[in-house]
Structure 1
């Protein structure tokens, strides 16, 4: 039986890393992405992580969407703002029996893809680690974490290879809401000017993270939404842990600090490059939900406004206390 062909649709940092690791393990992989990045990938990929693991890969690459016609599995890796465009390309080019998997942030993308691809097998997933581009063709996993995929279609078996921990989940929607809570950190990191590790070791910035998470958890409870945060600690325990003095935080939250010292979130790179961020899919989701249920989300709303302003005018110097005013 032929190996299923996997097309990584919208291969950026995460897509190149996941696709590259799959290709290195012998999976039949094609990366579909923008010309500049695909030109780099043609020369081969160097994949590494914060723990010292590394491998090389040479997947097939393409800039032409008609490559989707050969896909048995499509891993959608575009940012949320490009979901509509990618969904239309899949509808036009991919065969109807191809399984479509959203390896995207946010909680709305699977629904958008199902609307654009009626009758097709569209499944949710969650990528629990951060990937950064370190140079041409070099993609570095800078935090720990696993991939969780909606149960069925043999996806975990297909994707579970050396270098990737993949778990099947029947409750993928709850996991995606939990990941959204963690993704609220992305915007704080973009505003802080610090690496993730530096931010986590600064109690002031941890207080901002804790306030946002507490607001989000309160809003989700009011909305009757179950969120399963993909972390060692239960979601309700994370804000109190973040508020601890740094000496206590270091001891209790050691797993949170398994981060490459230079790692920053992708929102930092988006702002630096003048690209649209996903802050509306993260903070905006919580603010809108709070408004519908009559709950204030002042810190989350302030972070949202600051990132939107930074997208227009650049990031201005901020102290953590500025986000509580």
Structure 2
């Protein structure tokens, strides 16, 4: 009899492995939906939530406080042994480590879902967890840790995960947090990567996302960067799907970004909600002196560009500027679009 068969029936036991901003928000929403949730966190996060609880807020007016005991808070990976579903939310650079911890402590019956940025993390997890049910996933919305146990979702969108046995999306869907399954995750992940290329621009700008994208100078830079990346992905025969709305292809997005602001505002309002305080996770990383995921975003495009002999100067420059900001350790350099371009 498997470990799963020996466990009592009821809601699945969910462990969020590497609960930072996204992990704490998703875990908090699941706990709010009366799910059994354990957050595997760093010491500073355990102390913050143990003292303050979790406050969930978002662009649509969500404002709900959960007591500290709404979730289980753990520091040690041995807690993975109890998981029916493991949601991996660590930064890409920590994927190999969390895979080793899952292999050491979790049941092979547990379903592992990567809710990480980038296109390569689920593959790395599969490589390290041979024989496990590992699924790729995509979180479309932005979350910023505001301090004091508050986690704020600044943009709209539903989580998408790879289709498989067990109706996992149904089990993870709760009020205010919808999860859907698709058969082919790779095009969705590549589409999300294209959109996430703006994380670097937002981090360099030091302005909120909504203010940034309502500035046509930034939008033109976003469009030029994405057009460059689309040419690289076409050369590499990589298929993309728009993770925000399937009715608009990724090749159309640069054209929409270049619209006059009055027209762009009308089109964007129908596709995406962004509140005035939303920032990119990369901006948060620079602000808190952490390494970013620039290598998993612009870095992937630049590597493919070199491989296929396609120029990608904007992506290369953004990658270089973000690395400079990481090394400087002073947060965002607050650059203007012309400075990012190198004009």
- The bucket for the TM-score relative to the shorter chain is over 0.9
Specify the alignment match of 2:59 in structure 1: 50
Asked whether the 8 Å contact 1:24–1:56 carries over to 2, the reply is no
Specify the alignment match of 1:127 in structure 2: 139
Rounded Cα–Cα distance in structure 1 between residues aligned with 2:168 and 2:47: 28
Q: 1:75 aligns with which of 87, 90, 99?
A: 87
Asked whether the 8 Å contact 2:85–2:112 carries over to 1, the reply is yes
Q: 1:16 aligns with which of 6, 9, 24?
A: 24
Q: 2:226 aligns with which of 213, 217, 222?
A: 213
Which region of structure 1 is more displaced relative to structure 2, 228-237 or 119-128?
A: 228-237
Rounded Cα–Cα distance in structure 2 between residues aligned with 1:48 and 1:311: 29
**Post-superposition shift, 1:136?**
1.4
* 3-state secondary structure, aligned to 2:37: strand
**Post-superposition shift, 1:291?**
1.1
Structure 1 gap ranges (5+): none
Please list, as runs of the form range in 1=range in 2, the aligned pairs for 1:249-264 lying within 5 A after superposition.
Answer: 249-255=264-270, 258-264=273-279
Please list, as runs of the form range in 1=range in 2, the aligned pairs for 1:1-325 lying within 5 A after superposition.
Answer: 1-43=9-51, 44-57=53-66, 58-152=70-164, 153-232=166-245, 233-255=248-270, 258-313=273-328, 314=330, 315-325=332-342
Specify the alignment match of 2:4 in structure 1: none
Rounded Cα–Cα distance in structure 1 between residues aligned with 2:209 and 2:109: 41
**Post-superposition shift, 1:64?**
1.3
Rounded Cα–Cα distance in structure 2 between residues aligned with 1:154 and 1:35: 33
Q: Residue by residue, what CA displacement relative to the aligned partner does 1:277-301 show, whole Å, maximum 9, x if unpaired? A: 0001000000111111111011111
Structure 2 gap ranges (5+): 1-8
> Under a length normalisation based on structure 1, what TM-score does the superposition of the two structures give?
0.97
Asked whether the 8 Å contact 1:192–1:205 carries over to 2, the reply is no
Which region of structure 1 is more displaced relative to structure 2, 284-293 or 53-62?
A: 53-62
Rounded Cα–Cα distance in structure 1 between residues aligned with 2:271 and 2:197: 15
* 3-state secondary structure, aligned to 1:253: helix
Which region of structure 1 is more displaced relative to structure 2, 49-58 or 253-262?
A: 253-262
Rounded Cα–Cα distance in structure 1 between residues aligned with 2:13 and 2:244: 32
Q: Residue by residue, what CA displacement relative to the aligned partner does 1:155-176 show, whole Å, maximum 9, x if unpaired? A: 1111111010111111111111
**Post-superposition shift, 1:274?**
1.6
> Under a length normalisation based on structure 2, what TM-score does the superposition of the two structures give?
0.92
Asked whether the 8 Å contact 2:203–2:280 carries over to 1, the reply is yes
Rounded Cα–Cα distance in structure 1 between residues aligned with 2:15 and 2:334: 41
* 3-state secondary structure, aligned to 1:3: coil
**Post-superposition shift, 1:257?**
5.9
**Post-superposition shift, 1:252?**
2.2
Q: 1:7 to 1:227 in 2, by over 3 A?
A: same
**Post-superposition shift, 1:256?**
5.7
- Quote the RMSD (CA, aligned, Å): 1.3
**Post-superposition shift, 1:216?**
1.3
User: How many residues are aligned here?
Assistant: 325
Rounded Cα–Cα distance in structure 2 between residues aligned with 1:31 and 1:257: 29
